[in-house]
Amino acid sequence: MWQRWFDRLQPIFLVLALLFVALLLRSQWPALRAYPWHFHGGWLALSALLMVAAWLLEVRIWHLLLRVVDGVVPYGAALRMWFLAALIRYIPGNVWQPLSLTLYCQRWGVRPEATIASIALYQAVVLLAVLPIALIYFGFTGNWGLLSGMLTNIAPWLLAIGTIPVLTFVLRPQWLIGIMNWALQRIGRPAIAARLSTAHLLLLLFLGMIDWFFWGASFATLALALGRPETLGIGAFSFHLIAVYPIAYAIGFLSLITPSGFGVREGTFYLLLTPLLAGGYVTAIALAMRLWNILGEVLMALLTVAAERLWPIAPTRLHPPRHTITTPVDVVSADTVS
C-alpha cells in the first residue's frame, strides 16, 4: 500500500522540487543578473575530462563487485551497459536503471540476482565512501552551512555517529553480503555465495573516495569555467566544492522522493555553501552541474550506441568465475577486450 501511495506522490514531489529550485532562482535573480559571468574554455575542458575519469572509475568499481558475486563481464562491455542504462534513471521510480543493467548482463550469462546484488553493493560502497569525506570536511572546517548555529554543540556527536557505519562494515564486511542476501530473499531471489574481506572493502572504499574526488573536481572546475566570486581564493573555493559535492549527492540519492535527487541535491548545496558564497550563485552552479552531467551522459550514450554498431562485443564468458577480488594488482588492471 505504501509503495502505491509513494508512486502516486512522486510526481508531486518532482513538481515541488522544480518549484523549490525556481523560487531559489527567482529570489536571487537580481544578483544573478548583476554577477559578472565569464566563460573559460580551459576549465570546462578539464571538467569534462574529470567527469569521464569519474565514470571510468565508477564503472570499474561496479565491474569489480560484479565479479565478487560471480558475474563475469569484460570491462569494455560493462562500460557500454553503464552508459546505455544511465539515462533511464531519470524516469520516475528507482528500478529502471537496475532493471536495464540486469537485462544487459543476462546476455553474458549473469544471473539477475547477481546483477542486482552487484548494483546494491556498488551503491553501498560509494555511499560509505562519502562518510570519510564528510567527516574530514566537517571536522576540519566546522562548516555546517546554514545549520552551523544549531549544530555547534552536537557536531562532535554527529561526527562520532558518522564513523559507526564505516567501522562496522570494515570490521565485518561479510555483513554487507548478509544484508544483500536478506534483501534478495525478500524479493523472492536466491542468496548469492560471495565473500568480501576487509582488505577488499578498504580498497573499494579507497577507489570510491578517488571517484568522489573526480566528481567534486569536475564540479569545481565547471564552476571556475563560469566564473569564481572574489569572496574565496581558488584553493578554498575548490576545496569546499570538491568536498560538498559527494555529501550533497548522497543526501539527494537517499531522499528517494525525486528522480536522481532533483531539488534535494541543489537544496543541500544551497544549505552548505550559502554562508560562503551567494545563494544565487550556488543555485546556478548546482543546476549547471546537473545539466552538464546529463549532457555528458547523453553524449556517452550516443557514442556507446555508435560503438555497439561499429564494434560489437560478442557475449561470451571470457574468464572462469571468481567469488573474490584476488589481489590489488588484479583490482586495478583492466580486462583485455578483443
Number of H-type helices and E-type strands within the chain: 14, 0
Q: In the predicted model, what is the mean pLDDT of residues 147-151?
A: 79
Q: What is the per-residue pLDDT for 321?
A: 44
Cell readout for 180 is 544483500
pLDDT at 326 over 50: no
Look over the chain and give the mean of its residue pLDDT values, rounded to a whole number: 81
The residue type found at 25 is L
Q: What is the per-residue pLDDT for 190?
A: 85
Confidence category of residue 335, pLDDT binned at 50, 70, 90 = very low
Torsion angle defined by CA atoms of residues 67, 69, 71 and 76, in that order, rounded to the nearest 10 degrees? -40
What are the pLDDT digits (tens) for 8-67? 554 565 455 456 556 655 665 665 566 566 778 899 999 999 999 999 999 999 999 999
Integer angstrom CA distances of residue 130 from 3, 221, 249: 28, 20, 9
What are the pLDDT digits (tens) for 254-301? 876 666 666 788 889 999 998 899 888 898 898 889 888 888 888 888
- The count of other CB atoms within 10 Å of the CB of residue 10 is 17
CA-angle at 29, arms to 25 and 33, nearest 5°: 130
Confidence category of residue 325, pLDDT binned at 50, 70, 90 = very low
Q: What is the per-residue pLDDT for 229?
A: 80
What are the pLDDT digits (tens) for 232-261? 889 999 999 999 999 999 998 887 666 666
Integer angstrom CA distances of residue 309 from 131, 232, 302, 314, 315: 41, 48, 11, 12, 14
Q: What is the per-residue pLDDT for 60?
A: 97
In the chain, where are the structural domains located?
A: 38-318
Confidence category of residue 156, pLDDT binned at 50, 70, 90 = confident
Q: What is the per-residue pLDDT for 323?
A: 44
